[in-house]
Structure 1
Amino acid sequence: MKKTACKQKEKKNRLLTLLLLLLAVVCIFGPLYMTVVIALKSPQEMSHVLALPRHIQWSNFAKAWDMTDYPRKFANTLFITLVNLIFTVFTNAMASYAIARNRKKSRFFNFLYYYFISAMFIPFNVLMLPLVNEANKFHIDNVLGITFLYIVFGMPMNTFLYTGYIKSIPEALDEAAVIDGATPFQTFVRIMFPVLKPMTATVAILSVMWTWNDFLMPLVLLSDKKQQTLQLAQYIFQGQFNTQYNLAFASYLLVLLPVQVFYVLCQKWIISGVVTGAVKQ
């Protein structure tokens, strides 16, 4: 009886697993299939969205490239992403190291930790209008200004990730460095920062994907077309009376491709960094 019950339970589990897998395939690959198919169609074929194109229109990508001024917008987006990545990784790791090692000793650092973490619960929509007003006053409504804001707004989440990981690192490493005559800065650069590689990879990848894919902050801050990002350039396909869906979806693929390749190549570091940071020793 027990064997029969176990076999029935295994069959149910397999069936449920297959259903969930099918649902995942439909939800993930369904929109991707529609995006690729629409991007390769002519305007006359848009009445049948799911049907394959009769004649593949590779020219859609060339037209989308020219209409969005892709090289300039790509350069703006890449600049914001790379500068944000460099400053985020080093400054946030250093601040998190100071907070994690001094929380138990100092009320100030303990307050600082909760101050940063509390910012995670404030939606950007609440800060959006005051931020636009202040950005205009201080003239940071440009590429350099929005890069600085990305570094600031990413700090709460990155501090949370880094401090959780640093807790799992024995303080004996710090003490040994101090005995050898290292200053706190030298201890961080030569000892701690190399040890933080798994979490640094996670923070770096998540920061890159967030910055590259963000639409709302550039929308409210970047009014100059020459300084707009790739995400804002997608507005050009939407007119007052019609939308060029085939060109728009071709442009979406051009925007999606770089970050998708980046994620596929680096996803193992995301998983390893999150798992390692979640385990306390």
Structure 2
Amino acid sequence: MQEEKRTKKILMIILGCFLGLVWISPFYLMLTNSFKTKQELFNDTLGLPKTFHFDNYVNSAKDLNIVNTFLNSLMITVISVLIIIVFSSLAGYAIQRTKSKWSKVFYLTFVAAMLIPFQSVMIPLIAVFGRMNMLNRPGLIFMYLGFGASMSVFLYNGAMKGIPQVLDEAAIIDGASRWQIFSKVVFPMLQPTTVTVALLNVMWIWNDYLLPSLVINRPGSQTIPLTMFDFFGQFTKQWHLAMAGLTIAIIPVIVFYFLMQKQIIAGVSEGAVK
């Protein structure tokens, strides 16, 4: 029996290592080839670079107009995530603390909205926003709120079930308003969930291509995914520059994720289990 468990454990370790290698292989190819010359890349794609050519990154940054593009992505991502956090936490608080049939209806509506694929509403959504002259960055941020609120409300609502309502009643006795109860008592206790909501939406919005391509596909206002698409179209034969550009594009969100991965796991568990 013990020997069988040991065999299963070894097999699981081998499987885990294999899956880890499969997952990391694209990043390995991208990173190593970003330091090679064009000729070296085609001659030895899998090997390590003989000489590290950092000028690939300099040239890619210039061609990507990295400062302007990075600021566009940063502005849209930060504003969108902040708005999603504020509105979703308020909605989750109102739904969880209001004991009525309508609160259940609203909650189920948010949950059901998670199942609706963007492609099914893409054309009518763009048509409506086009008539309202909102095919711009504010319109894009508003769309991100609509698509990001469902999952965020679900996580906040689940996390708030673990916060005793007695705390609300005690704050009311002390003379606190409903807004003070939420902002000073409830919301600070939702920090793991807030970090999770922020990180999941940051990774989604930062890497999103389809929605910005329909809304803000104009020179000077493009995000990193849009610029990378044009970059690949322009440098399809210069893969060493393309790999360097991809590395530049994904570094911020990867660093952000690895710094906060513990909070993601804690927040998802708190929001989904309780």
Q: Name the TM-score, length of structure 1 as normaliser.
A: 0.92
- The alpha-carbon deviation at position 113 of structure 1 amounts to 1.1
* Partner residue of 2:223 out of 215, 229, 232: 229
Counterparts in 2 of 1:115-134, with a 5 A limit?
A: 115-134=109-128
- Runs of 4+ in structure 1 deviating by more than 6 angstroms, as ranges, are none
Structure 1, 245-254 or 271-280: larger mean CA deviation: 271-280
Distance in 1 of aligned mates of 2:101 and 2:236: 59
Q: Secondary structure at the match of 1:182?
A: coil
| Residue segments in structure 1 that go unaligned for 5+ positions in a row | none
Distance in 2 of aligned mates of 1:241 and 1:68: 11
* Partner residue of 2:40 out of 25, 29, 45: 45
Residues 1:107 and 2:113 are matched in the alignment: no
* Partner residue of 1:29 out of 21, 24, 49: 24
Residues 82-137 of structure 1 deviation map (CA, whole Å, 9 limit, x = unaligned): 111221112210111001111xx322222111111111010011111112222222
Which amino acid is the alignment partner of residue 19 of structure 2? Answer: A
Residues 1:182 and 2:176 are matched in the alignment: yes
CA contact (8 A) 1:116 1:156 kept: yes
CA contact (8 A) 1:92 1:159 kept: yes
Q: Secondary structure at the match of 1:141?
A: coil
Counterparts in 2 of 1:54-65, with a 5 A limit?
A: 54-65=50-61
Residues 155-186 of structure 1 deviation map (CA, whole Å, 9 limit, x = unaligned): 00001101011111111111111222222111
Counterparts in 2 of 1:1-281, with a 5 A limit?
A: 5-7=1-3, 9-47=4-42, 48-102=44-98, 105-239=99-233, 242-280=236-274
Which amino acid is the alignment partner of residue 198 of structure 2? Answer: A
CA contact (8 A) 1:60 1:247 kept: yes
Which amino acid is the alignment partner of residue 84 of structure 1? Answer: S
After superposition, the CA RMSD in angstroms is 1.7
CA contact (8 A) 2:235 2:241 kept: no
CA contact (8 A) 2:89 2:153 kept: yes
CA distance change for structure 1 residues 80 and 267 in 2, over 3 Å: closer, same or farther? same
Which amino acid is the alignment partner of residue 80 of structure 1? Answer: I
- The alpha-carbon deviation at position 276 of structure 1 amounts to 2.5
- The alpha-carbon deviation at position 33 of structure 1 amounts to 0.9
Q: Secondary structure at the match of 2:224?
A: coil
CA distance change for structure 1 residues 236 and 167 in 2, over 3 Å: closer, same or farther? same
Distance in 2 of aligned mates of 1:130 and 1:88: 23
Distance in 2 of aligned mates of 1:240 and 1:185: 52
Q: Name the TM-score, length of structure 2 as normaliser.
A: 0.94
CA distance change for structure 1 residues 200 and 15 in 2, over 3 Å: closer, same or farther? same
- The alpha-carbon deviation at position 151 of structure 1 amounts to 1.5
Distance in 1 of aligned mates of 2:59 and 2:82: 34
CA contact (8 A) 2:235 2:242 kept: no
CA contact (8 A) 1:38 1:246 kept: yes
Structure 1, 134-143 or 93-102: larger mean CA deviation: 134-143
Residues 38-75 of structure 1 deviation map (CA, whole Å, 9 limit, x = unaligned): 21111112323112223322111111111111111100
